[in-house]
Amino acid sequence: MARFKNKVVAITGAASGIGAATTRLFAQEGAQVVAFDTSQTLAESFAGEAAIVTMQGDAGREEDVLAMFALATSRFGGVDIICANAGVTGGEAGLFDQSVESWEQVLRINLIGPFLAVRHGAKTMVDSGRAGAIVCTASVAALRAGAGGPAYSASKAGVVNLVQIAAQQLAGSGIRVNAVCPGLIESGMTRELYDKARAKGREGSIGKLNPLRRGGHPAEIARAIAFLASDEASYVNGHALVVDAGLSTSHPFARPSALGETIF
């Protein structure tokens, strides 16, 4: 397939997991890709892949995001597709234990990062006379409590609202803005969980709360992102596509404290 022939794609958080799978899928389907990440091994990850240009930077830092789009413009004349994928978990601390500094860091990467990608990416598209698609990685944790830490969940809920606002404010531009909401996916972000389960011989318990009774793979999310970015989704705009094996149909979770316990 060559759905993205002659298209230019910019992807943040491209070094591993969903970002790496998405980067490779776009390249395989004909796109020129600017892969952006903080990782020191980013260039090594895509060495020898001619369709992929790498750039090290921080998705939550405006100067770096501007530099990413400047690179896409200087090398390829602009950008057609943006995947704002970079994210951090913020750990497992509860609402009353997580520090303000941790919240600030999570929001900077997970919410300000997509804002910067949308803001400057859309301008790059308009300035070069291109219509295009923007896909932001949110999470099932954006939908209701029980699927992620407090700061992470709040930041991803912000991403869902961000794409709705952006879709409205880009009306008439031809630029579509959507989000993908992954469930439990094996990636760098969840490596510790998977490693612990395997060490205890309990890998089979991963994902057991969803109806398919398994965790997901980065390639499964990459295919959803590619769909949203493609002409096959030409009438999909301002939408959050849930890809979670049905987890969010109930979101069961264990409460952190019993009724009547002191939480402070």
| Residue 164, in any domain of the structure | yes
Q: Is residue 98 part of a domain?
A: yes
Q: Is residue 52 part of a domain?
A: yes
Specify if 96 maps to a domain.
yes
* Catalytic-role residue among 69, 76, 103, 152: 152
Number of domains the chain is built from: 1
CA proximity to 221, closest of 75, 59, 18: 18
Q: Which amino acid does the sequence have at 188?
A: G
What is the reported pLDDT for 30?
97
pLDDT tens, 219-252? Answer: 999 999 999 999 999 999 999 999 998 888 875 6
Q: What is the pLDDT along the chain (264 residues), one digit of tens a residue?
A: 699 999 999 999 999 999 999 999 999 999 999 999 999 999 999 999 999 999 999 999 999 999 999 999 999 999 999 999 999 988 878 889 899 999 999 999 999 999 999 999 999 999 999 999 999 999 999 998 877 889 999 999 999 999 999 999 999 999 999 999 999 887 666 556 555 655 666 666 665 778 888 888 999 999 999 999 999 999 999 999 999 988 888 756 555 555 445 444
Domain that holds residue 114: 8-186+217-243
**Domain assignment present for 145:** yes
What are the DSSP calls for 31-93, one per residue? Answer: -EEEEEES-TTHHHHTTT-TTEEEEE--TT-HHHHHHHHHHHHHHHSS-SEEEE-------S-
Whether 255 is in a domain gets the answer no
Give CA–CA dist 234/195, Å, rounded: 39
Would you call 152 a catalytic residue per the annotation? yes
- Residue 215 has a pLDDT of 82
210 domain residue, yes or no: no
Which CATH number characterizes residue 65's domain?
3.40.50.720
Q: How much is the pLDDT for 191?
A: 58
Task: Tell whether 199 is covered by a domain.
Answer: no
